[in-house]
Amino acid sequence: MTQRKFILFAAPALVLAMAFACKKAEEPVTTDTAVAATTETSSTASTANAAPATVSEDDKTFATKAADGGMTEVSLGGIAASKATNADVKSFSQRMQTDHGKAGDELKSWASAKGVTLPAEISAEHKKLADDLSKKSGAAFDKAYMNAMVEDHDKDVKEFQEASTKVKDPDLKAWIDKTLPVITDHQKMAHEIAGKLK
């Protein structure tokens, strides 16, 4: 009878002891996991907040110029699409709108992710070029437009090549390396078409 009473008292005590021991064993894991999750969240948040600060002034300057140049190509391409009389010039202008429009959208996405503000419209210098071209028509327009495209793409290719080795932001470099072959192709086409118009 005494042994039976002992078992009746000992069994619940043993169950309680085991439950307490399990609870203790779980607590550090739960706490560590919570700390790790909090640390990871803080780390992610600080990385996201620090992202804009990582873009150098030189990278921002290049991105600003590239955005202005790209918008100008699209704008001039729109003018040429309606004013060009030569089929090659017209086709080239449509390519400018498509390719530079796409590259511009990709650059805007990069800027948005990095907290960089790009120009919303083309520079005064490029507006003047657009105005000057708008006043021309026929063969004179075709020649003036293609000459501007030759000059612009010669300059762009050189700037992109230099920027590819100098920019610090890896995502901007990736965009440059992706865009450079496209504008190099534009440069070649511009020279060929302009050569035929002389």
Reported as a pLDDT band with limits 50, 70 and 90, residue 38 is: very low
Q: Check whether 30 has a pLDDT greater than 60.
A: no
Q: Check whether 175 has a pLDDT greater than 50.
A: yes
pLDDT of residue 54: 83
pLDDT digits (tens, 9 = 90+) for 70-105: 999 999 999 999 999 999 999 999 999 999 999 999
Q: Check whether 41 has a pLDDT greater than 90.
A: no
What's the whole-number average pLDDT of the chain? 82
| CA–CA gap between residue 76 and residue 74 (Å, rounded) | 6
Summarize the confidence of residues 172-190 as an average pLDDT: 97
Report angle CA 97, 102, 105 to the nearest 5 degrees: 120
Residue 65, Ramachandran bin (φ over 0: left; ψ between -120 and 50: alpha; else beta): alpha
Q: Check whether 15 has a pLDDT greater than 70.
A: no
pLDDT of residue 145: 96
Nearest CA to 63 out of 180, 165, 172 is that of: 172
**Domain spans of the chain, in order of start:** 1-54, 55-197
Q: Check whether 39 has a pLDDT greater than 90.
A: no
pLDDT of residue 78: 95
Which residues are within 8 A (CB) of 157 and not within 5 positions of it... i.e. 6 or more apart? Answer: 180, 183, 184, 187
Q: Which CATH superfamily is domain 55-197 in?
A: Ferritin, core subunit, four-helix bundle (1.20.1260.10)
pLDDT of residue 53: 53
Q: Check whether 16 has a pLDDT greater than 70.
A: no
CA-to-CA separations, 183 to 11, 49, 50, 66, 72, in angstroms, rounded: 82, 33, 32, 12, 14
More confident residue, 124 or 5: 124
| CA–CA gap between residue 94 and residue 179 (Å, rounded) | 17
